[in-house]
Structure 1
């Protein structure tokens, strides 16, 4: 199996955490009779492969790289929220702690289009996206915007670095489409 690019590999690997038997997939893949006896194929093989990629990335990326990818791409609510909290604690900025935390949370859970952004279960109340609520002390809007911009720029830089490292790991395994030729 190959992935189109590193982002699709990371997204599929992180999504493998939330697939369970209630959704129609079992962790233990089913052996299919239509092919070679004992061979795992189809969606079960793809799921198993995604689980192996998840394991490889988790074990080989540095913990801070893993957390930033979880914060950005994970669909597992508990792991995503724990990673967001860790990333927020590690974020460096002259902004107050509450502001840094809110900036990281709104970066990881962006407001989505639609009525009140409710196209996803991972959406925050509208008040979370109002920067005036991110600090108890009055702060000029330009300062708030600069703090938020700098925090987001740093978070995106970290994501890019983690994706470069993940690309190297997956490239060494030969499972990216551009390397499979």
Structure 2
């Protein structure tokens, strides 16, 4: 199996760990059952590759790169929250601590389309997305917007660096479709 791009590979790999037995993550029995009838193919093979990519990325990426990808793309709630907490502790900004934390959380868990974000379990209450609630001290709106913009820009830059490193790893494993242009 090969992936079209590095983002799809990262998203699939991070989603592989959240598939439960109701949905089909009973990894060992599926793979063993598929082997009994011959070669591992289809969904089982794709799932196996996703799990392998998860392992390779987790092992080979720098901890900061792994953390930023988990915060941005993971659907595993506990791991996502842990990654957000680590990023919040290590990220330096001129913004107050609470503002910085809220900006990072809302970057990692953006407000989604739909009524009150009911399309996803990883959405926050509406008040989280209002910058006025991010600090108790009065700061001009332009200052708050600059803080948020700078934090998000820096986080997206980190994501870009992490994806570049992930791409190198995946290319080394021949898991990306070569560009045909």
| Structure-1-length-normalised TM-score | 0.94
Q: Is the 8 A contact 2:34 2:44 kept in 1?
A: no
| Aligned position for 1:22 | 22
> Are residues 37 and 24 of structure 1, via their aligned partners in 2, closer, same or farther at CA, if it must alter by over 3 Å?
closer
Aligned length: 178
Aligned twin of 1:123: 123
Structure 1 unaligned residues grouped into runs of 5+: none
**Is 2:61 aligned against 1:61?**
yes
CA distance in structure 2 between the partners assigned to 1:25 and 1:153 by the alignment: 35
Question: Match for residue 33 of structure 2?
Answer: 31
Cα deviation for residue 38 of structure 1 reads 3.5
Q: TM-score, normalised by structure 2?
A: 0.94
* Cα distance in 1, alignment partners of residues 106 and 37 from structure 2: 49
Q: Is the partner of 2:57 in helix, strand or coil?
A: helix
Q: Distance in 2 between matches of 1:7 and 1:78?
A: 21
- 1:115 and 1:179 map into 2 onto residues whose CA distance is 38
Moved over 4 A (4+): none
1:71 corresponding residue in structure 2 = 71
RMSD of aligned Cα (Å): 1.6
Q: Which residue of 2 aligns with 1:163?
A: 163
In the alignment, is the contact (CA less than 8 A) between 1:20 and 1:27 conserved in 2? no
Is 1:148 matched up with 2:148?
A: yes
Report the CA distance between 1:37 and its aligned residue. Answer: 4.5
Q: Kindly state the Cα deviation for residue 20 of structure 1 after the two structures are TM-superposed.
A: 2.0
Q: Greater shift after overlay, 23-32 or 58-67?
A: 23-32
- Deviation for aligned residue 1:23: 1.1
Check 1:52–1:179 CA distance in 2 against 1; reply closer, same or farther (3 A cut): farther
| Mapped pair 1:112 → 2:121 | no
Q: Is the 8 A contact 1:30 1:44 kept in 2?
A: no
Q: Give the aligned partner of residue 93 of structure 1.
A: 93
